[in-house]
Amino acid sequence: MGANTSAKKTNEQLLWFEEITLKDLPKVGGKNASLGEMIRHLTSKGIKVPEGFAITTKAFAEFVDNSALEGKINAALEGLDPDNPSDVAERGKKVRKMFLESPFPPELQREIEYGYWELGRKLNIPNPSVAIRSSATSEDLEGASFAGQHETMLNVRGETAVLKAIKQCFASLFTDRAIAYRVHKGFGQIGNLLSVGVQRMVRSDLACSGVMFTLDTESGFDNVVYITGSWGLGEMIVQGAVNPDQFYVFKPSIGKFEDPIIEKKLGSKQQKLVYAEKGPGMMDVEVSEADRQRFVLSDEEIVKLAEWACIIEDHYKKHMDIEWAKDGITGEMYIVQARPETVHAVKTQNVLETYVLEDKGEVLTRGEAVGSKIGKGLVKVLESAYEISEFRKGEVLVTDKTDPDWEPIMRIASAIVTDRGGRTCHAAIVSRELGIPCIIGTGTGSRVLKTGQEVTIDTSEGQGLVYAGLLKFRIDRTNLASLPTTKTKIMMNVSVPEHVFTQGQIPCDGVGLARLEFIIMAHIGIHPLALIEFEKLKKKAETDPDIAKMVDKIEELTHGYDNKEDFFVEKLAWGVGKIAATFHPRDVIVRLSDFKTNEYASLLGGTLYEPTEENPMIGWRGASRYYAGHFKEAFKLECVALKRVRDKKGLTNVKVMVPFCRTPEEGKKVIHTMAEFGLTQGENGLEVFMMAEIPSNVVLAEEFADVFDGFSIGSNDLTQLMLGLDRDSELVSHLYDERNPAVKRMIASVIERVKKKGKKIGICGQAPSDFPDFAEFLVECGIDSMSLNSDSVIKTRLLVAEKEKALGH
């Protein structure tokens, strides 16, 4: 403004962030109050928040009074039908026009101009670029996120532009979606006041930004910080225009262990929002292929953000939804918003609802699951929010992406499917709050699915699947408060990490079986020796076209890893780490890889290293591979990954289990080999268990007990080897039965003999999950634990409790 800027701040219309705390929420709204709270109380703890000021709710009220808007608004909204999008749109447009055409009171205009000038002076930047954000007194409260309800304008420069943007924020109190949202949430229309924040822009257009939560957004699991990020300004993530990078960090290990990251997932990040080339405003640009293929954050930055998230959560004493940004000029990280998480904050914790799909159908498309429910209905494909009047209650909304304009129909949809978006985008946030199933990032959903088509939307298994037809499903409800405790530990079998946060909500005593080969197959897909010998393969590729194709595919899958062995180790460590973090501090027993030769051969590059066996089921598998000359280096990678999980991530609840160990001498060889690679029995509390699945394991139970710390009965293999049949052969499958007297005698014998040696013994086979009478038999034998499929845990606990009661345990 120059020399004539002599207006004196009155503290009535303008407050600087450093003057504000949460107690000032009535004056400055939820967003601004939180920014001030962090600047006042968390700056000393290292958290950086960009400078700025708030235009107060009193200033907003003066603006409304100055143009006598209250009576006009009441008249415009009288008789509103919030479920009629056309009615809401017509009235909302009329109200917003009133705001945009009304002048600022002279004194308020001077205050705003002064504040903007003073901010520039503090920053030593004339006409600084600022973000103008709405901050309503009813938003960012527990149970009401108002996600994207009110306006935000980015890269605003100059007094005239700032004044115009503030007026647009005032008007956004009455956007169509905000009007309808307040009605549905029970808030009044006129009683809500709006504040506006004017905040220095962080130059994340030259770097990256994102959103993080202090819990897992789908399951509510709260021992992790969940971080998303993409290139450029963060609006792209909120709008669902990009599929961002995703990171999980294990809270209890932050600041205590070297590597608390338990998952990293690369997003496609095809677009980014940056400053317009000429003047203020924004524009979308394509992200280079090189940037799409790399993470937006380093590991150090991921951990730093997670530390900040924990500090903020600890200060607010509740789970938080936080926006972050990195300045591409200075390299500094900033927190630009923090608000209470709104979905899990209002959920009851005593009732577990499990959706179970009872039919199967053709999978039409798939994407990322939001929530863990099932919905069904007729498809309605819409290209834009202008078509929402065509939508009918109970239909499945299918579109490219959503923004707040879609909310009137999102409320009446049975499910939502989008082409784009990550788990912190608008569609994900709103569908969680509404409690409806949503699948995001399908890529092709709006083209594959057709209006009027009958579909079922399934997010119950951790992945988002759209099935053809209206399939039957049920909802199982369990009162967790009334579950009995049992002397017999009831544990869970876990396959892949994708479902584990949801599975972890089921009350159990830990994981009795986590299979490494499942993680290798799903997350790595490459034979370990092909990674170890990758440079040799590259040379062979020069003269062999088939190997050249294989090398190209390995390069594609391991992009970003110069050392291909690191790819195997890191992916495996993330998979095991995510499972172990979910159940921490309860035991997680991880079985070392138990691929048969034909299964290893199916991995990329596997045919180069695997022999052909007539009967792989009883061939070169399990323990016999780990110390064998040319496979020993591959086994090393498993040991290095597990050591990283225990030592660098702090997850010492991980125990190791050796499968298919034929003799006690072989067991000693395996334990010696593990120690060679740094995984030493007894060190840092490491226990090593073995599978009891071969008749020799039973006959020599006492000798094996001198080698291992505990046992887990593998009833599947024990049954086939006792009965001398191939369980995969249809010709003899009718004879396969774990309840055969010979099998049961072997099981009873090994339980008795192992317990006499003072060692632990459980079971992780299929039988107790499938047959209640078999579970009762195991209780009678005095087994220490049963590890079951996730859908059998609760019913088996109830059964075991009854049996123990009957036996007087």
**Locus of tokens 């369990």:** 478
The distance from CA 619 to its chain's CA centroid, rounded to whole angstroms, is: 39
Cβ pair 623, 547 in contact under 8 A:
no
Which residue among the candidates 426, 499, 527, 584 is catalytic per the annotation?
A: 426
Q: Which two tokens stand for residue 258?
A: 């070297």
CB neighbour list of residue 736: distance below 8 Å, 6 or more residues apart: 719, 720, 723, 725, 727
Q: Which two tokens stand for residue 791?
A: 């859908």
Longest CA pairwise span in the chain (Å):
98
Q: Cα–Cα distance between 220 and 217 in angstroms, integer?
A: 6
**Adjacent-strand bridge partners of 473:** 357
Burial class (CB in 10 A: 0-12, 13-18, 19+), 488: buried
Burial class (CB in 10 A: 0-12, 13-18, 19+), 692: buried
Order the strands of the 14-16 sheet from edge to edge. 14-16, 52-55, 194-200, 130-136, 152-156
Cβ pair 194, 134 in contact under 8 A:
yes
Burial 533-572 (b: 16+ CB within 10 A, else e): bbeebeeebeeeeebeebbeebeebbeebeebbebbbbbb
SS (H, E, C) 411-478: CCCCEEEECCCCCCCHHHHHHHHHCCCEEECCCCHHHHCCCCCEEEEECCCCCEEEEECCCCEEEEEE
Considering Cα of 440, then 478, then 781, then 773, what sign does the dihedral take? Answer: negative
Which residue among the candidates 169, 310, 438, 764 is catalytic per the annotation?
A: 764
Q: Cα–Cα distance between 775 and 765 in angstroms, integer?
A: 11
Mapped onto helix, strand or coil, the DSSP state of residue 41 is helix
Mapped onto helix, strand or coil, the DSSP state of residue 213 is strand
Considering Cα of 756, then 758, then 764, then 768, what sign does the dihedral take? Answer: positive
Q: Which two tokens stand for residue 345?
A: 């904050």
> Catalytic annotation on 426?
yes
Q: Which two tokens stand for residue 265?
A: 């997932």
Which helix (H) or strand (E) segment holds residue 589: the answer is: strand 588-591
**Adjacent-strand bridge partners of 135:** 195
Q: Which two tokens stand for residue 665?
A: 């001498």
The distance from CA 650 to its chain's CA centroid, rounded to whole angstroms, is: 20
Cβ pair 440, 420 in contact under 8 A:
yes
Q: Cα–Cα distance between 126 and 2 in angstroms, integer?
A: 10
Cβ pair 166, 173 in contact under 8 A:
no
> Catalytic annotation on 764?
yes
Q: Which two tokens stand for residue 399?
A: 């579109």
Cβ pair 409, 389 in contact under 8 A:
no
Considering Cα of 506, then 510, then 513, then 518, what sign does the dihedral take? Answer: positive
Count the neighbouring beta carbons within 10 Å of the beta carbon of residue 77.
Answer: 18
Count the neighbouring beta carbons within 10 Å of the beta carbon of residue 122.
Answer: 13
Please give the torsion angle defined by the CA atoms of residues 635, 641, 645 and 646, in that order, rounded to the nearest 10 degrees: 40
151-420-345 Cα angle (round to 5): 60
Q: What is the set of active-site residues?
A: 426, 764
